[in-house]
Amino acid sequence: MSWKRTIVVMCLGCCVSSAAGGEGDALDEALAEVGMRRADLGWRPKGWWPQYPANIPYKLRCFDALLSAPLDAVTFARSLARSAKDHLDPAVLDTKPERFGGHLYKAVHALAVNPKFGGLRGYTANLTAEDTPLDEAILALHRAAGRPTKFVTFDTVSPYPDPAGDLNRGVAVIPESIRPVLGRLVMNIVDAHRWVELAFRNVEMDKRMVVAGRMNLGEEQTDALDYCSEMDDIAGAWDQASLWYAGGKCVQAIDDARMALADAGDVPPFAFDWETPWGWIRIRGGGPDVVDGTNALLIVDLGGDDRYTGSVGASAAGRPIGVLLDCGGDDAYDSIGPAQGAGVCGVGVLMDARGDDTYRADRMAQGLGQFGLGVCADLNGDDTYFVKYSGQGCGYFGSGLLIDAAGKDSYRIWADGQGLGGVAGVGVLADRSGDDRYEAVRDAKITGRGSYHSEGDDISVSNAQGCAMGRRGDGADGHSWAGGLGALLDSQGSDRYVSGNWSQGTGYWFGTGLLHDGSGDDEYHGVVWSQGSGAHFCVGALIDEAGDDLHIAEVTSNNSLAFGHDFAVALLVNLGGNDTYEVKQSGIGYSINRSVAALIDVGGDDTYRGRAGDRPGMAIFDERFRARDGVSGYFSDTSSVGLFVDVGGTDTYWSGHADNGVWTDEASSPNPLERNFSVGVDRENGAVSFRPIPERTPSRSTAR
């Protein structure tokens, strides 16, 4: 269909069609208003385009596919959300399939490993250890580390050191029935340790130390403020397959131990400590304990209200595995960091099975992967999380995952987390159920991260709540690194999201940021670059499946609620419920500089408030779109759209737009001739499908 309509009337400075709906898919019919099809959306960059960013390393495999088929971002987000919902269901977490890995293992693989590395398909961790006496298992660890367990000189066995005897006496404080389970856990860690060492066999220790010491990558890398050459070096040398294999083994081993220890009953208080060549093993009984995690390989606590300090559940350059299992109690975790599920040049796993727990850290905690896998998994209870920087599901060249399976939880961060895919990384926060609160502190006077997009408002750069940020080096040293995948997945509950700038399903510089909320009456409060937005070659999407929801871009906000800038995919999809959308300046299906920006709402009586003179579904014209003159550039050789679709309900608009109407560009607008389309559709009934379209030849009606 041509962009020109047969019957039109002039209204509010744009063309308004007499038709407001049909029998087909509402999204397809909206695109047809301007002669487009789904296959016309997105871009497949041509290598000869002058100044189009090229030679961008570390793109995740999802990125180019989503850039060329933007609506697939909805399907992708749903697939991640389904994995979290299915595998973190409390009803299945305590069960294990007869053959392959358990549900927690599968969740970690689907959310943290597979988006980063596709060589493993998540069938099993292939654990082979059997129940083993704990003292024998620790002696086996010493031998695996190349340390003797028996000392002979002058043809005489030395009376000391006597690790076998000391261990035999030391483990006596632990109930005999659970020692074999703990021994099996140690043996599985020995197996995993071999693989994580293989992962870094070609990486010099001094480079690992440099990378492990970079504590503020969220701040220094986004706009190329500092270049760390060791990151490029390690990225080209490490063996990712071995790292992710080791990580899966650690997760499955801890989960197996959790389930095996669940039947231990009431365990008396005790303390067992043993320093191995790979770090401390600390095992505690049922009392209220204070446990120092400094240089800890393995911590197991069998019950009681405990307090943990130091680098619990964290790896380091010189100690590539750190794991913690807490079987129950209302616990407090208090660290500087890295800690609490931080994989730094290795694997860090924290699993807390039960209790109302509190997590606090300064940085790099609660699910942080920096050239490693970091997992923080809390399976039950009403929990509170706080970290200043880089955590709660944050990845830089690695994968960080925060899992909370049940309870009413509170998450607070200053910046860089709650689902941040930093440079070449995957960061996911997955919350299965409960009415939850997510806050990325907005006040820059607290965070020290003032945003130049909100000058004078003291608004912080959040980089949070489903955000992906790459290293944009085109204006600095030329070392441009792709952003990763940042996702916040909340399956159930009425939730509240509060943040500053760059948040809530937002992408930047070859990154993909997703926020998926499955149900409940939710509130989204962002400022600039939030709620399904993005800038500079990226994907940002917010999908809310149900409920009466509030979407507000606050303060002197703009560039939010489906706002795309410079080859950005910006989607806000809300299905069901009576919803309210408000932006102070530009937003609500707003495209500039060749972007695909779409706000799609299906069902409910909805309210839209925006800036006077704007309308839902706008694509802003730029002279560069037609600057050919015999030399075509990427601006003049592509297509873009600002799209708005509302299906069902009695809806209210600012600027006098009417319910059940259609609006497109003015007849005199240069937009249609340069394939830059504005279209808004409100219809009283219909449906929208987001099923992926099959591969096919792009439409001839839209140049690529």
116-129: pLDDT as tens digits? 999 999 999 999 99
Question: Could you tell me the CA-to-CA distances from 409 to 102, 353, 360, 488, 495 in Å, in that order?
Answer: 24, 15, 14, 14, 10
Specify whether the CB–CB gap between 403 and 375 falls below 8 A. yes
Rounded to an integer, what is the distance from CA 182 to the centroid of its chain?
A: 32
State the pLDDT at residue 694: 64
Specify whether the CB–CB gap between 214 and 345 falls below 8 A. no
Three-class SS state of 426: strand
CA distance 621 to 699: 22
State the pLDDT at residue 693: 66
Question: Which residues are within 8 A (CB) of 650 and not within 5 positions of it... i.e. 6 or more apart?
Answer: 605, 659
CA distance 576 to 581: 14
* Average pLDDT taken over every residue of the chain: 92
Question: Which residue ranges of the chain lie beneath pLDDT 70?
Answer: 1-23, 97-99, 629-632, 693-704
Three-class SS state of 383: coil
CA distance 434 to 380: 11
State the pLDDT at residue 101: 83
Residue 164 is encoded by which pair of tokens?
Answer: 């076998």
| Helix H or strand E segment including 62 | helix 61-68
Residue closest to 460 by CA, chosen among 468, 470, 448: 448
Which residues on adjacent β-strands are paired with residue 369? Answer: 343, 395
Residue 546 is encoded by which pair of tokens?
Answer: 């149900």
* φ/ψ (deg, to 5) at 151: -120, 125
CA distance 182 to 591: 57
Cβ neighbours of 442 (radius 10 Å): 24
State the pLDDT at residue 22: 54
H runs (alpha helix) in 88-236: 90-93, 103-108, 134-144, 163-170, 179-199, 205-212, 217-220, 229-235
Tell me: the pLDDT tens digits for 566-616?
999 999 999 999 999 999 999 999 999 999 999 999 999 999 999 988 999
* φ/ψ (deg, to 5) at 453: -80, -10
Q: Write the DSSP assignment of 342-372 as a string of letters.
A: EEESSEEEEEE-SS--EEEEEEEESSEEESS
**Matching residue, tokens 């401390």:** 280
Phi-psi region of 327 (alpha: psi -120 to 50; beta: other; left: phi over 0): alpha
Question: Which residues are within 8 A (CB) of 204 and not within 5 positions of it... i.e. 6 or more apart?
Answer: none
State the pLDDT at residue 24: 84
